[in-house]
């Protein structure tokens, strides 16, 4: 069994988060906490229609409300501000306020600036808009066939297909021809999304003396692509400073939130006063631009009789909603681990990305790979059942073996390292898998439906930019860099100052930076402070996302620390009259190896800052360094896209085993146990990683059992508030998610760290589907869609019971189930029956 390499002082410690004291005492300074003199407040008027032409807007009544400063329509805003940033190719035009046409419910049609948010909302109520409704498209399969007025973006082409492409990796047809069995399944992954406690917000001001914007915002990526906001605002990049605020959660959804800051800035320029615009909850749910994947899969897995997996074919339709800000990057992402932890030799993906009248997709913990995991793991279970194998055995049989790393999968991505059996075995042990199989058998005799789920899936980490564009037929901006930077200074008193160039968005960047720097410089964490750069002072910073930030800042800090150490050694060698090669850094002192002669970092820093004449002539004063760390291992895709190159090589892994019981009379699911074992390489902080795993797992339980952005056929979002969009609370979570770690260090990263930010949500949905299906095996029920809501489960159970009565089948508790001849339950992802509110 692999265990964490020891010998580190701070790496691997469950140090308390350095962010917490100010966050927990209400001093976090979220965007809504920031106030500027003369500040005003904005509210938006939201479209009640999913698809309509805007005939006319009358703002006169709103403008007459005392306290109203400005009312702006989309057409007026577009005179000053261009389209929002878009990474799709060709781009899809979207404005911060809709112009001429609304494409989803909730899209802003006008904005009001007033002395208070109350007045702004009162006035927004008085704006009169005349709409001409257009045909609404909400069904992704129907969207493929849309014509005429049902086409959302006619300038892009005569239909609602955003992108259609088939990528083939390896000899798929030959491998299918060799197969003894082909397992097929149709799956439905419904739309859900991140629900951070803080919504998206911005406080923008415009200085007409300098022609410069300042925007406080809780967005990320501002030091990567923030200049795109300047382009939208039609100012040069140096006329826009984006100042990060602490983000009250993101889970991906604040990856690059540009609409809100651009709207606030547009209004601020127009009214000449600072404007604060913070989404309310309904705004955020409808308009956050970060809905998650919404996919229909047709899957085929080719196998040998003995369970050897040969090839995988996926046909997937993905409903992107009304706009396409990140292109189909989510499917680029999924190619990182398309074939899971298995030695599948070839694969094919046929993607049809469609546009519908829903909020657009963005980022949500997993960025499309969580869906791929669901697909692969459902197929592994289906294969086990078809071949009458144990779900554990079929996985074990197909795992990539520890001595096969680095391992290149059919898509071209490389997995750096792993030991999948070690993770599996640890999870089986922690869960008492075999014991529970016996208990399950006993329970069935009592008419109780206990289910054991098991998944073994990948957690790709440290994204590289190529995934955003390599699906495109003609990539517009084929960027290949995704670096992160730090600058570090040691002040004259020997204290360390770290500046990050990406924001806090709910993770623990300060804690990680502190632990890594403490390790590097052998100093105490209390002597380190961490701050965040704005864009004026920013270095390249791609920022968190794709489970990358811990790895990236560890690399950047190690790089900067190396330069600082060199400087310290230079000073110390000179003053101690020793050779640099005889020096060592230990416990915050540079000393001559094997002697007690040395200097503390504080003493060195004092010299470096104030005693130039005591130092070598070529010594530049101060003790600081900046370092930009590039993605450790990226290569280009080839021209015909039969090989995507290496873009996500830092490969984590997990095994989740939930044990649940279904009440077949109510369809409710109860947790009996939950085990999650992860390999995230070298662990920097076991406590915060376990927090990620547990929180992510509960989020995955949300996706599996509760959460659904459900649009009815008229495009109304029926779950636009927290009474209807159900997030699991502590009461719905397993009492204890038992977390285990297996450590296979990455050969490509500093300390061998792998990312671990998304893992829980990347495993739990598939694990829950597996567990529920296992529980209901006696009834022959298949789980092909999410969320597995009690109403739907009960409906399937009722049908199964009726089928049984009609067939006159005896209560055969171990009865076989007919996975093959079964018709797919397409409505599982949808609402029951003729749902009416």
Partner 1 sequence: MKPAPFSYVRPMTVEEALFALAQQGDEAKVLAGGQSLIAMMNLRLLKPRCLVDINRVAALDYIRQDNGTLAIGALTRQSAAETSPLVLQHCPLMTEAIQYIAHRPIRNRGTVGGNLAHADPTSELPAVAVATDATFVVRSANGQRTILAADFFVGHLTTALRPDELLTEVRVPPWRPAGQGWSFMEVSPRKGDYALVGVAATLQVKDGACQAARLVYNGVAGRAQRVPEAERALVGRNADEAAFREAASIASQRVDPHSDFHATAAYRRDLVNTLTRRALAQALARCGKRSA
Which parts of this chain interact with partner 1 (CB under 8 A)? 117-118, 121-122, 125, 280-282, 665-668, 706, 710, 718-719, 723-724, 726, 728-729, 731-732, 789-791, 794-795, 798, 831-837
695's tokens: 């929180």
456's tokens: 């073994």
Q: Which is nearer to partner 1, 13 or 668 (CB)?
A: 668
Residue 403: which residues within 8 A CB-CB, separation 6 or more? none
Q: Which is nearer to partner 1, 120 or 299 (CB)?
A: 120
Burial (CB count within 10 angstroms: exposed 0-12, middle 13-18, buried 19+), residue 305: exposed
CA angle, 371 as apex, 400 and 482 as ends, to 5°? 80
Rounded to the nearest whole angstrom, what is the least distance from the CB of residue 667 to partner 1 in the complex? 8
Rounded distance between C-alpha atoms, residue 426 and residue 413, angstroms: 27
Rounded to the nearest whole angstrom, what is the least distance from the CB of residue 32 to partner 1 in the complex? 13
Q: Which is nearer to partner 1, 432 or 732 (CB)?
A: 732
Q: Which is nearer to partner 1, 123 or 137 (CB)?
A: 123
Q: Which is nearer to partner 1, 279 or 773 (CB)?
A: 279
Around Cβ 25, how many Cβ atoms within 10 Å? 8
CA angle, 375 as apex, 481 and 815 as ends, to 5°? 165
- The answer to whether the CB of 443 falls within 8 A of the CB of 636 is no
Rounded to the nearest whole angstrom, what is the least distance from the CB of residue 708 to partner 1 in the complex? 9
Q: Which is nearer to partner 1, 115 or 524 (CB)?
A: 115
Q: Which is nearer to partner 1, 29 or 666 (CB)?
A: 666
Rounded to the nearest whole angstrom, what is the least distance from the CB of residue 741 to partner 1 in the complex? 31
Rounded to the nearest whole angstrom, what is the least distance from the CB of residue 282 to partner 1 in the complex? 7
Rounded to the nearest whole angstrom, what is the least distance from the CB of residue 837 to partner 1 in the complex? 6
Q: Which is nearer to partner 1, 281 or 822 (CB)?
A: 281
Closest CA to 319 of 188, 460, 168: 188
Rounded to the nearest whole angstrom, what is the least distance from the CB of residue 707 to partner 1 in the complex? 11
Q: Which is nearer to partner 1, 478 or 726 (CB)?
A: 726
Q: Where are the beta strands (DSSP E) in 449-594?
A: 449-452, 455-461, 484-490, 496-500, 528-532, 583-586, 589-592
Secondary structure of residue 179 in the 3-state scheme: coil
- The answer to whether the CB of 705 falls within 8 A of the CB of 662 is no
Rounded to the nearest whole angstrom, what is the least distance from the CB of residue 119 to partner 1 in the complex? 9
How far is CA 3 from each of CA 8, 270, 405, 429, 742, rounded to the nearest angstrom?
13, 59, 18, 16, 6
Residue 71: which residues within 8 A CB-CB, separation 6 or more? 59, 62, 63, 110, 111, 112, 113, 123, 127
Residue 806: which residues within 8 A CB-CB, separation 6 or more? none
Residue 327: which residues within 8 A CB-CB, separation 6 or more? 87, 88, 89, 163, 468, 469, 471, 472
Q: Which is nearer to partner 1, 281 or 438 (CB)?
A: 281
Rounded distance between C-alpha atoms, residue 530 and residue 518, angstroms: 12
Q: Which is nearer to partner 1, 56 or 729 (CB)?
A: 729
Rounded to the nearest whole angstrom, what is the least distance from the CB of residue 118 to partner 1 in the complex? 5
DSSP letters along 250-303, please? -TTTTTT--HHHHHHHHHHHHHSS-EEEE--HHHHHHHSS-B---EEEEEEEEE
The continuous run of DSSP H or E covering 71 comes out as strand 68-73
Rounded to the nearest whole angstrom, what is the least distance from the CB of residue 830 to partner 1 in the complex? 10
Q: Which is nearer to partner 1, 317 or 772 (CB)?
A: 772
The continuous run of DSSP H or E covering 163 comes out as strand 161-169
Measured in degrees and rounded to the nearest 5, phi and psi for residue 116 equal -145, 160
Task: Give CA 26 to chain center in angstroms.
Answer: 26
Helices then strands, counting H and E runs in the chain, come out as 21, 29
Rounded to the nearest whole angstrom, what is the least distance from the CB of residue 782 to partner 1 in the complex? 20
Rounded to the nearest whole angstrom, what is the least distance from the CB of residue 725 to partner 1 in the complex? 10
Q: Which is nearer to partner 1, 401 or 666 (CB)?
A: 666
Q: Which is nearer to partner 1, 109 or 585 (CB)?
A: 109
Q: Where are the beta strands (DSSP E) in 279-393?
A: 295-303, 309-319, 346-354
Rounded distance between C-alpha atoms, residue 234 and residue 80, angstroms: 8
Within 13 Å of residue 678, how many CA atoms lie on the same side as its CB? 34
Q: Which is nearer to partner 1, 206 or 710 (CB)?
A: 710
Q: Which is nearer to partner 1, 189 or 709 (CB)?
A: 709
Q: Which is nearer to partner 1, 14 or 666 (CB)?
A: 666
Rounded to the nearest whole angstrom, what is the least distance from the CB of residue 724 to partner 1 in the complex? 6
Rounded distance between C-alpha atoms, residue 744 and residue 708, angstroms: 36
754's tokens: 């792998």
Rounded to the nearest whole angstrom, what is the least distance from the CB of residue 294 to partner 1 in the complex? 17
Rounded to the nearest whole angstrom, what is the least distance from the CB of residue 280 to partner 1 in the complex? 4
Rounded to the nearest whole angstrom, what is the least distance from the CB of residue 46 to partner 1 in the complex? 12
Q: Which is nearer to partner 1, 336 or 768 (CB)?
A: 768
| Strand 650-663, strand 449-452: pairing | antiparallel
Rounded distance between C-alpha atoms, residue 520 and residue 207, angstroms: 42
Rounded to the nearest whole angstrom, what is the least distance from the CB of residue 802 to partner 1 in the complex? 12
Around Cβ 739, how many Cβ atoms within 10 Å? 20
702's tokens: 């949300």
Rounded to the nearest whole angstrom, what is the least distance from the CB of residue 722 to partner 1 in the complex? 10
Task: Give CA 213 to chain center in angstroms.
Answer: 29
């Amino acid at each position: 069994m692999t265990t964490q390499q020891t010998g580190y002082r701070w790496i691997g410690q469950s140090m308390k988060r350095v962010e917490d004291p100010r966050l927990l005492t209400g001093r976090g300074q979220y965007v809504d906490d920031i106030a500027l003199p003369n500040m005003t407040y904005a509210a938006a008027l939201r479209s009640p229609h999913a698809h309509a032409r805007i005939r006319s807007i009358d703002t006169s009544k709103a403008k007459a409300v005392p306290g109203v400063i400005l009312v702006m329509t989309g057409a007026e805003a577009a005179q000053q501000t261009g389209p929002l940033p878009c990474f799709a190719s060709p781009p899809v035009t979207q404005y911060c306020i809709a112009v001429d046409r609304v494409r989803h419910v909730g899209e802003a049609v006008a904005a009001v600036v007033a002395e208070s948010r109350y007045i702004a909302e009162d006035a927004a109520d008085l704006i009169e808009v005349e709409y001409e409704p257009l045909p609404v498209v909400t069904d992704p399969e129907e969207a493929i066939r849309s014509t005429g007025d049902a086409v959302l973006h006619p300038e892009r082409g005569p239909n609602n297909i955003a992108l259609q492409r088939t990528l083939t990796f390896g000899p798929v047809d030959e491998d299918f021809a060799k197969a003894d069995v082909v397992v097929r399944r149709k799956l439905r992954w419904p739309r859900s999304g991140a629900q951070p406690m803080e919504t998206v917000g911005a406080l923008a001001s415009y200085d007409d003396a300098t022609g410069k914007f300042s925007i406080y915002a809780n967005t990320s990526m501002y030091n990567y692509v923030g200049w795109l906001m300047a382009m939208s605002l039609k100012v040069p990049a140096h006329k826009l400073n984006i100042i990060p605020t602490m983000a009250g959660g993101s889970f991906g959804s604040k990856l690059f939130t540009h609409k809100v800051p651009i709207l606030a800035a547009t209004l601020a320029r127009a009214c000449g006063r600072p404007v604060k615009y913070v989404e309310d909850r309904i705004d955020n749910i409808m308009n956050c631009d970060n809905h998650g994947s919404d996919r229909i899969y047709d899957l085929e897995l080719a196998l040998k009789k003995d369970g050897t997996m040969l090839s995988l074919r996926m046909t997937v339709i993905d409903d992107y909603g009304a706009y396409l800000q990140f292109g189909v990057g989510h499917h680029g992402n999924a190619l990182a681990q398309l074939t899971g932890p298995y030695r599948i030799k070839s694969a094919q993906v046929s993607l049809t990305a469609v546009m519908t009248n829903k909020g657009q997709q963005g980022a949500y913990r997993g960025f499309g790979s969580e869906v791929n995991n669901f697909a692969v793991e459902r197929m592994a279970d289906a294969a086990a059942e078809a071949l009458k194998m144990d779900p554990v055995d079929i996985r074990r049989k197909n795992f990539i073996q520890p001595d096969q790393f680095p391992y290149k999968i059919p898509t071209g991505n490389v997995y750096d390292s792993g030991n999948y059996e070690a993770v599996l075995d640890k999870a089986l042990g922690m869960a008492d898998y075999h014991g529970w199989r016996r208990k399950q058998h006993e329970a069935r005799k009592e008419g109780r439906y206990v289910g054991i789920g098991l998944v073994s899936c990948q957690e790709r980490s440290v994204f590289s930019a190529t995934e955003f564009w390599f699906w495109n037929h003609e990539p517009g901006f084929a960027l290949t860099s995704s670096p992160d930077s730090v600058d570090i200074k040691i002040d004259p008193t020997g204290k360390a100052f770290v500046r990050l160039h990406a924001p806090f968005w709910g993770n623990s960047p300060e804690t990680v930076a502190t632990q890594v720097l403490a390790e590097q410089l052998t100093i105490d964490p209390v002597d380190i402070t961490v701050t965040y750069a704005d864009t004026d002072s920013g270095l390249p910073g791609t920022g968190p996302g794709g489970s990358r930030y811990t790895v990236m800042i560890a690399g950047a800090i190690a790089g900067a620390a190396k330069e600082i150490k060199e400087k310290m050694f230079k000073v110390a060698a000179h003053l101690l009259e020793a050779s640099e090669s005889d020096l060592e850094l230990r416990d915050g002192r540079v000393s001559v190896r094997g002697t007690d002669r040395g200097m503390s970092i504080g003493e060195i820093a004092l010299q470096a800052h104030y005693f130039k004449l005591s130092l070598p002539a070529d010594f530049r004063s101060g003790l600081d360094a900046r370092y930009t760390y590039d993605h450790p291992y990226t290569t280009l895709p080839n021209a015909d896209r039969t090989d995507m190159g290496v873009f996500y090589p830092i490969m984590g892994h997990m095994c989740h085993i939930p044990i649940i019981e279904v009440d077949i009379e109510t369809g409710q699911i109860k947790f009996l146990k939950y085990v999650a074992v992860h390999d995230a390489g070298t662990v920097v902080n076991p406590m915060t990683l376990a927090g990620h795993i547990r929180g992510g797992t509960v989020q995955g339980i949300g996706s599996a059992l509760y959460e659904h952005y459900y649009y009815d056929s008229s495009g109304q979002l029926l779950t636009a508030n927290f009474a209807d969009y159900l997030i699991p609370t502590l009461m719905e979570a397993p009492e204890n998610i038992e977390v285990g770690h297996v450590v296979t260090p990455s050969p490509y990263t500093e300390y061998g760290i792998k990312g671990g930010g998304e893992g829980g949500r990347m495993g739990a949905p598939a694990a829950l589907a597996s567990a529920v299906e296992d529980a209901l095996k006696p009834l022959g029920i298949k789980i092909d869609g999410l969320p597995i809501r009690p109403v739907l489960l009960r409906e399937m159970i009722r049908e199964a019971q009726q089928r049984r009565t009609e067939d006159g089948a005896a209560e055969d508790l171990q009865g076989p189930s007919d996975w093959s001849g079964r018709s797919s339950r397409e409505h599982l992802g949808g609402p029951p029956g003729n749902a009416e509110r």
